Amino acid sequence: MKISGVILAAGKGTRMKSDLPKVLHSVLGKPMITYGQNAIKHLNNKYVVVGHQSDLVIKELANEFKPVIQEEQLGTGHAVLTLLNSNEFKNDDSDYIVIIPGDAPLLLKESIDTLISESTKRKVALGIITAEVTNPSGYGRIIKDGNTISKIVEEADSSEDEQKINEINSGMYCFNKNFLLENIKTLNSNNEQNEIYLTDLIEIAFQNKLDTVIVQVSEDTIKGVNSMSQLNEVETSLREELITSHMENGVYFQDPTSTYIDKGVVIKAGSRIMANTHLTGTTEIHDNCVVGPNTMINDSTIGEGSSVIFSVLDGVTIKGTGTIGPYAHLRRGSILEEGVKVGAFAETKNSNVGSGSKIPHLSYVGDADLEENVNFSAGSITVNYDGKNKHRTEIKKDAFVGSDVMLVAPVTVGEGAMIGAGSVITKDVPPKALGIERNQQKNIDGYMDRKKPKDEN
């Protein structure tokens, strides 16, 4: 039996009060629609109905998901009708069609599989996922005749008694394809919102004495996102699950409530994540690292046994055991080999730092290649930008750069060379040479006495 999957993702999400399409708001570092795709990616044919800023939404779709554009957003029924009339759907060979909203990131694949199993096993006209919730406000209510669902009433159209019902519609269905094709064109927009409701098909099935099935799940599973506060709620729920799974795999969290981790982050066993740490993007923390407190790491790899405290890293690779911080800023393109130290208030950017090299504090290394065992002392910088172009600095192994040095790129410091403190180096320094650039010091005796006003003498 073949099952098609459909994600409804055309709405703007006006209550979000954002220009960004609702389904593109991030949940643990991934667009919300990613979660819907993951829930139905195992089905045979897959479609996404898009509308508001459709070009942006289409960019986030996996290759196997076919977009169908709903030019006017006239309700869920109209969205599905648009799909069924589209060229993309013309050759669909499915027996049942699963339809889910694009704004339910807590939805589990297991719930969809149960819905499909129950619907196909009983050969019903339609199956629906529902939940009993503590606060049903904003949701369509499930109306029953005995144990059979007779209709769904949207809140805007509901009576006072119907509003007291706490079993609500999830917006997740499994339709017999023939039933859907035969009846969807009969739907109308005679309701408070002047929209075509997909839910009206439930009442049609009931009136025609066709079998239906309800799969009831937990409240959290179907929680949708219609506002920024609801976005925060679902993200908090998913983050708690994610951190718990990391802890079960041997990662220690000093304060899970102040730790923020994206879904794509990898953390190996034995690592310790301290309070107020943000790990985002494709970050990978290897075994036995200490990260935090007060640290932000994005799209970076942290080598085994490294320590990163009170620092910001973005697009960085630490290949071995590194010691970073406090208050270091490592920017994109920084690649650190084994045993590198980057200390307090130091910054690197687009630079390779060889094993055993040290950038202790108050320094800037940008567009540079440091070989092994280079000492880059306090207050020194690579002057990499001439106002138009960037230039590279090369520092060969075992070189020593003294404090408060400016290396004006392009320039090379030879192997084992030394740069005297306070120098501005504009020419290459040969291996094992001392590069020094200073004006001669001049002391003026008695200067301060002569500077005093006469009335102080």
The one catalytic residue among 78, 246, 361, 391? 361
Same domain, 206 and 341: no
Pair (313, 208) in one structural domain: no
Q: Is the pLDDT of residue 238 over 60?
A: yes
**Is 361 marked active-site?**
yes
Judged against a pLDDT cut of 80, whether residue 455 lies above it is answered with no
How does pLDDT run across 25-45, given as a tens digit for each residue? 999 999 999 999 999 999 999
Give the pLDDT of residue 454: 66
Residues 78 and 183 in one domain: yes
Q: Which residue has the tokens 């405290």?
A: 309
Q: Are residues 188 and 309 in the same domain?
A: no
Kindly tell me if the per-residue pLDDT of 268 is higher than 90: yes
- The reply to whether the predicted model has a pTM over 0.85 is yes
Query: Which of 418, 330, 334 has the alpha carbon at shortest distance from 368?
Result: 334
Share of the chain above pLDDT 70, in %: 99
Q: Are residues 200 and 265 in the same domain?
A: no
The answer to whether position 246 is within a domain reads no
pLDDT in tens, 400-447: 999 999 999 999 999 999 999 999 999 999 999 999 998 888 999 998
- Shared domain for 19 and 152, answered yes or no, is yes
Per-residue pLDDT tens for 43-53? 999 999 999 99
Amino acid identity, residue 34? T
DSSP E strands, 393-457? 393-395, 400-401, 406-408, 411-413, 418-419, 424-425, 434-435
Do 63 and 9 belong together in one domain?
Answer: yes
What's the pLDDT score for residue 456? 58
Q: The domain that contains 99 carries what CATH number? A: 3.90.550.10
Q: What percent of the chain has pLDDT over 90?
A: 85
Q: In whole angstroms, give the CA distance from residue 81 to residue 101.
A: 15
Query: Are residues 36 and 116 both part of a single domain?
Result: yes
Q: Are 169 and 136 in contact (CB under 8 A)?
A: no
97-135 confidence digits (pLDDT tens): 999 999 999 999 999 999 999 999 999 999 999 999 988
Which residues, 6 or more positions from 347, have their beta carbon under 8 angstroms from its beta carbon? 328, 329, 330, 331, 363, 364, 365, 366
pLDDT in tens, 318-349: 999 999 999 999 999 999 999 999 999 999 99
**84 part of a folded domain:** yes
Clarify whether residues 318 and 183 are in a common domain.
no
- Is residue 369 predicted with pLDDT exceeding 90? yes
The residue segments making up the domain with residue 430 are 252-435
Total domains in the fold of the chain? 2
169 and 272 co-located in one domain? no
196 or 452: which carries more pLDDT confidence?
196
Strand ranges in 339-392 using DSSP code E only, listed in sequence order? 341-342, 347-349, 352-353, 358-359, 364-366, 368-370, 375-376, 381-383
Looking at 172, 203, 222, the residue that finishes a domain is 222
Give the chain's radius of gyration (CA, Å): 31
pLDDT of residue 215: 95
Q: What is the CATH number of the domain that holds 415?
A: 2.160.10.10
87-121 CB burial, b ≥16 within 10 A, e <16:
eebeebebebbbbbbbbbbbbbeebbbbbbebbbe
